[in-house]
């Protein structure tokens, strides 16, 4: 049996143990493990890294704890605009959607864009028309309604401010500024030696003007190349876009010969920090090595390998 690896994330940011009740911590860990297991099972059955990534992310999109799919935050107009991207490392093919509404699993639609549209990135109404043409079900807004996320939006909807994701301060009466970058993602190496990456997000609460972050942009929030690595990012998207974070990691490996760990550390702990960017990424290389790297207080994350490693984490180790 060839080596295979899958890593996932469910967002990064100010995530402190004091912010989560024991019950909520258990729910997050269970959600991460379910997603990890779904992707791992695909790889174990000799499925492709693409299918493993999509299956893992679908589990996270279906879990309202995470800011993607069902758990997507509200925009300034009180709706949900979701972004997603997949990329395969053997052919550098990619598919993405931005500003999509009423689709249960945007990551599945991104895969269809890659495989069947002839394009890389579709947005808004056009992406919805493509989804309809491919038989995707229109999901009513009620499915995406979450009272806590709605209340959070109501607090700031009449202002010009936005919120990176939900704050957990109501759980224990905390009132400090907590930033959480809500995105989900997965990266995988399959038994055929191929890499894939995927990322999905609901964006920022109260976002305006059709704002799009790094998640659906190949090279910024998502990237895969069999010669180097697969990357999925989570953080303040504007910085990740400007720093072309995912591709930067790959470039350091390809052109400077750095290891996966070395490349991730330079980009996340040095280059991003100097720019003012907070967040992290998950990565796996062509040999099955992995890195779960972040410069924030925490990152919902998990790793499972064919060599017996199986771990989910939230806080800094």
Which residues touch 139 (CB under 8 Å, ≥6 apart)? 102, 103, 104
Which domains, ranges and CATH numbers included, belong to the chain?
5-315 (3.60.20.30)
Which active-site residues does the annotation give? 183
pTM value? 0.92
> Per mean pLDDT, which range of 99-108, 177-186, 305-314 is the poorest?
177-186
Q: What is the pLDDT of residue 195?
A: 98
Give the residue with greater pLDDT, 181 vs 141: 141
163: nearest Cα among 13, 17, 316? 13
Does residue 72 sit in helix, strand or coil? coil
Query: Tell me: the pLDDT tens digits for 24-67?
Result: 999 999 999 999 999 999 999 999 999 999 999 999 999 999 99
């Amino acid at each position: 049996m060839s080596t295979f690896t899958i890593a996932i994330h469910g967002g990064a940011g100010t995530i402190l143990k004091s912010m989560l009740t024991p019950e909520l911590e258990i729910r997050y860990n269970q959600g991460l493990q379910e997603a990890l297991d779904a992707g791992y099972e695909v790889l174990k059955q000799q499925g492709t890294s693409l299918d493993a990534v999509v299956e893992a992310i679908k589990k996270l999109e279906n879990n309202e704890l995470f800011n993607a799919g069902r758990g997507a935050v509200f925009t300034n107009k009180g709706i949900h605009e979701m972004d997603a991207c997949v990329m395969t490392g053997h052919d550098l093919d990619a598919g993405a959607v931005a500003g999509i509404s009423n689709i249960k699993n945007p990551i599945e639609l991104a895969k269809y864009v890659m495989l069947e549209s002839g394009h890389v990135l579709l947005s808004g109404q056009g992406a919805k028309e493509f989804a309809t043409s491919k038989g995707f079900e229109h999901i009513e807004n009620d499915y995406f309604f979450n009272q806590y996320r709605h209340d959070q939006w109501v607090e700031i909807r009449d202002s010009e401010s936005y919120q990176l994701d939900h704050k957990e301060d109501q759980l224990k009466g905390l009132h400090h500024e907590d930033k959480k970058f809500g995105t989900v993602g997965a990266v995988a190496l399959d038994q055929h030696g191929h890499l894939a990456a995927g990322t999905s997000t609901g964006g920022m609460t109260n976002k305006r003007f059709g704002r799009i972050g790094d998640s659906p942009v190949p090279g910024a929030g998502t990237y895969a190349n069999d010669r180097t690595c697969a990357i999925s990012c989570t953080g303040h998207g504007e910085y990740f876009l400007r720093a072309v974070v995912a591709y930067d990691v790959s470039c350091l490996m390809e052109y400077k010969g750095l290891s996966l760990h070395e490349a991730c550390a330079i980009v996340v702990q040095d280059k991003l920090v100097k720019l003012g960017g907070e967040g992290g990424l998950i990565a796996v290389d062509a040999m099955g090595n992995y890195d779960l790297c972040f410069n924030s207080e925490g990152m919902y994350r998990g790793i499972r390998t064919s060599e017996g490693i199986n771990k989910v984490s939230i806080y800094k180790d």
